C-alpha cells in the first residue's frame, strides 16, 4: 500500500495571533493537503489555535482571512507543494 | 492577617484590576489585560485567588481567560466552548460564576457551559437549550445573552440563570432540566392581556442575597422585583424609585434586606441617570423603602448609564459598593453607599464590576 505524501506548505501567522500563543513564529512550514489540515497541524503544535481561527459551523471565522497563493480560501481549499498560506485579520472591531 | 481588595473590571477593551487595602482609600489601576479583547465579565475565586475573564473577540471568537497571579499573566481557552456543528456558533462569553462543582460560563447565543478543570476545558450543559421554550427566545438590545448566572451557594444541583429576553430559568438537577421562574414580572412590551407570560420577559440582572439563598432580587427592563422563594414568584419593589428601568442590582454580602439599584431614566428616554443626576438607591428592608445616595456623585450634566453587570459589593464590613459607567468611570463607596468617590476615569466602557478580597 502506497503512503500519501502530503504537500509541504508555508504558513504566515499574524502577530495578533502569535501574541495569543507565546512562542509561535511568524512563519511555519508544515505538511497538509487542505487548509483544514494545515490549521489542524497548527493546533497540534499550539493547542487552541484552531478555535481562534475557526468556529463550530465549522468554518474559518468571519473576520479571519486565509489566503492560499493569493486567493481567499476556505477550510476545504486544497494545498499543493510549496503553497503559501497567509492568515490575516480582516477589518473589524470598534 | 491584612487583606487586599481587588476590583475586577470587564470593559470593551480588556480587563482591568484595581487594588487597595481593607481601608479602600486609594486604588492602584492595572491593565488592560486579555489583549484588549472585549471582556464582559471578570470574577475571582476567593479561595485560590484565581481570576477568570469571559469575553469574545470579533476576530478570534469566545474565550475564558485565566490568571493565577492576580493579573500579571493570563492564559485563555475555549476548548469545548462550542455548540454542535451546524448551530449558530458561540460568539462571546457573558457571565462567569464559581459553583461548588466547577466553574460556569453563560454565553451568547444563550447557553450554559461548565468546567471541572478550572477553565481549561468546557462541557455544554445541554439541558437549558433543550427547554421547549427555546424557539421563542428573542434577543434583547445586547443580544441573546445569558448574563445572570447564580449557582446556589450551598447546593450544586441548583442554578438560576437570566437570559435576555427569555427570562429567568432554574434547575434543581444540575442542569438536566429547567423551568421558567418569571411569575409576577411584567413584559410591558407585549399586548396588555399578555404582560405576565411564563417566559419571554426582559430580565436585566438577577442577584442572590448570600445570607438567604432563596431571596433573589431582579432588575428587569420592566420593573424591580424581589423573590422569597427562589424565583417561583416575584413581587414588585419599584414603589419609591424614580423609574422602573435600569440594569444592575447588587446584594449586600451579609444583610439579605439590603440591596442596591441604579435606576435609569427609562428605556426610550436616553437610558442615563434620572434628571442627569447620579444616584445609587439603597433599601434596608428588602425593597419596601428606598433611599437615594448621592454624596460624592455628580449632580448635574450627568449622562452616563450603568450596564447590567457593572455594580457590585465587596464582603468587608462595612461593605464596599462599586459601579462602573458606560462612559468609563468607576465610583466606589467604602461605607455601604453613604459616600462616594470616583476612583478611575477615562476607561473604556465598563461592562462588569466584581470584587475579590484576599489575604495579602
Give pLDDT tens digits for B326-345.
999 999 999 999 999 999 99
| Mean of pLDDT values over A45-59 | 97
Among A14, A20, A87, pick the best mutation site for testing chain B contact (most B Cβ within 10 A): A20
pTM over cut 0.90: yes
Interface residue B74 vs chain A (CB under 8 A):
no
Q: What is the pLDDT of residue B100?
A: 85
pLDDT band at B140; cut points 50, 70, 90: confident
B127: pLDDT strictly greater than 70: yes
Nearest CA in chain B to A63: B59
Contact B340, B295 (CB under 8 A): yes
Interface residue A20 vs chain B (CB under 8 A):
yes
Q: What is the mean pLDDT of chain B?
A: 97
d(CA B148, CA B205): 6
B226: pLDDT strictly greater than 60: yes
Q: What is the pLDDT of residue B249?
A: 98
For CA atoms A71, A75, A78, A80, give the dihedral sign.
positive
Place of cell 494545498: A79
pLDDT band at B142; cut points 50, 70, 90: confident
- With b for 16 or more beta-carbon neighbours within 10 A and e for fewer, the B70-107 pattern comes to bbeebebbbbebbbeeeeebbbbbbbbbbbeebbbbbb
| Mean of pLDDT values over A75-93 | 93
Q: List pLDDT tens digits, range B283-300.
A: 999 999 999 999 999 999
Test A20 with B77 for CB contact under 8 angstroms. Answer: no
Q: List pLDDT tens digits, range B249-277.
A: 999 999 999 999 999 999 999 999 999 99
| Mean of pLDDT values over B27-42 | 98
| Mean of pLDDT values over A67-82 | 97
Test B61 with A61 for CB contact under 8 angstroms. Answer: yes
Domain A8-89 class in CATH: alpha beta
Contact B173, B138 (CB under 8 A): no
DSSP one-letter code for B222: T
Interface residue B82 vs chain A (CB under 8 A):
yes
A2: pLDDT strictly greater than 60: no
- Assess whether the previous peptide bond of B255 is cis (omega < 30° from 0): no
Q: What is the pLDDT of residue A93?
A: 65
Test B79 with A17 for CB contact under 8 angstroms. Answer: no
Determine the distance in angstroms separating the CA of B76 from the nearest CA of chain A, rounded to an integer. 8
B3-359 adopts what CATH topology? Methylamine Dehydrogenase; Chain H (2.130.10)
Test A56 with B77 for CB contact under 8 angstroms. Answer: no
A1: pLDDT strictly greater than 60: no
Determine the distance in angstroms separating the CA of A48 from the nearest CA of chain B, rounded to an integer. 7
Amino acid at each position: 500500500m502506497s503512503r500519501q505524501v502530503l504537500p509541504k506548505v508555508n504558513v504566515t501567522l499574524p502577530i495578533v495571533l502569535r501574541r495569543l500563543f507565546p512562542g509561535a513564529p511568524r512563519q511555519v512550514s508544515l505538511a497538509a493537503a487542505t487548509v483544514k489540515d494545515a490549521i489542524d497541524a497548527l493546533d497540534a503544535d499550539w493547542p487552541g489555535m484552531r478555535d481562534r481561527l475557526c468556529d463550530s459551523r465549522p468554518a474559518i471565522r468571519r473576520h479571519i482571512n486565509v489566503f492560499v497563493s493569493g486567493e481567499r480560501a476556505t477550510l476545504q481549499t486544497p494545498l499543493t507543494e510549496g503553497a503559501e498560506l497567509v492568515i490575516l485579520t480582516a477589518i473589524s472591531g470598534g | 492577617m491584612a487583606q487586599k481588595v481587588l476590583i475586577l473590571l470587564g470593559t470593551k477593551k480588556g480587563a482591568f484590576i484595581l487594588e487597595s487595602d481593607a481601608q479602600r482609600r486609594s486604588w492602584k489601576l492595572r491593565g488592560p489585560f486579555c489583549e484588549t479583547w472585549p471582556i464582559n465579565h471578570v470574577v475571582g475565586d476567593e479561595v485560590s485567588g484565581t481570576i477568570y475573564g469571559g469575553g469574545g473577540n470579533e476576530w478570534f471568537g469566545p474565550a475564558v481567560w485565566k490568571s493565577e497571579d492576580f493579573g500579571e499573566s493570563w492564559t485563555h481557552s475555549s476548548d469545548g466552548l462550542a455548540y454542535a456543528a451546524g448551530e449558530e456558533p458561540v460568539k462571546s462569553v457573558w457571565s462567569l460564576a464559581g459553583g461548588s462543582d466547577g466553574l460556569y460560563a453563560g454565553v451568547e447565543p444563550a447557553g450554559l457551559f461548565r468546567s471541572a478543570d478550572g477553565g481549561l476545558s468546557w462541557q455544554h450543559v445541554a439541558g437549558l437549550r433543550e427547554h421547549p421554550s427555546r424557539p421563542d427566545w428573542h434577543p434583547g438590545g445586547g443580544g441573546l445573552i445569558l448574563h445572570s448566572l447564580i449557582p446556589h451557594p450551598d447546593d450544586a444541583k441548583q442554578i438560576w440563570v437570566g437570559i435576555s429576553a427569555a427570562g429567568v430559568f432554574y434547575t434543581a438537577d444540575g442542569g438536566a432540566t429547567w423551568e421558567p421562574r418569571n411569575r409576577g414580572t411584567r413584559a410591558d412590551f407585549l399586548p396588555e392581556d399578555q404582560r405576565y407570560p411564563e417566559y419571554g420577559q426582559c430580565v436585566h440582572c438577577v442577584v442572590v442575597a448570600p445570607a438567604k439563598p432563596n431571596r433573589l432580587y431582579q432588575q428587569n427592563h420592566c420593573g424591580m422585583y424581589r423573590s422569597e422563594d427562589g424565583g417561583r414568584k416575584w413581587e414588585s419593589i419599584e414603589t419609591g424609585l424614580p423609574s422602573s428601568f435600569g440594569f444592575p442590582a447588587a446584594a449586600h454580602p451579609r444583610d439579605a434586606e439590603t440591596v442596591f439599584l441604579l435606576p435609569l431614566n427609562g428605556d426610550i428616554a436616553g437610558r442615563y441617570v434620572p434628571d442627569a443626576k447620579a444616584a445609587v438607591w439603597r433599601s434596608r428592608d428588602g425593597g419596601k423603602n428606598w433611599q437615594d445616595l448621592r454624596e460624592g456623585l455628580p449632580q448635574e450634566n450627568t449622562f452616563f448609564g450603568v450596564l447590567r453587570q457593572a455594580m457590585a459589593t465587596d464582603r468587608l464590613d462595612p461593605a464596599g459598593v462599586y459601579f462602573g459607567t458606560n462612559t468609563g468611570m468607576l465610583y466606589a463607596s467604602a461605607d455601604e453607599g453613604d459616600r462616594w468617590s470616583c476612583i478611575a476615569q477615562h476607561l473604556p466602557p465598563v461592562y462588569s464590576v466584581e470584587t475579590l478580597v484576599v489575604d495579602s
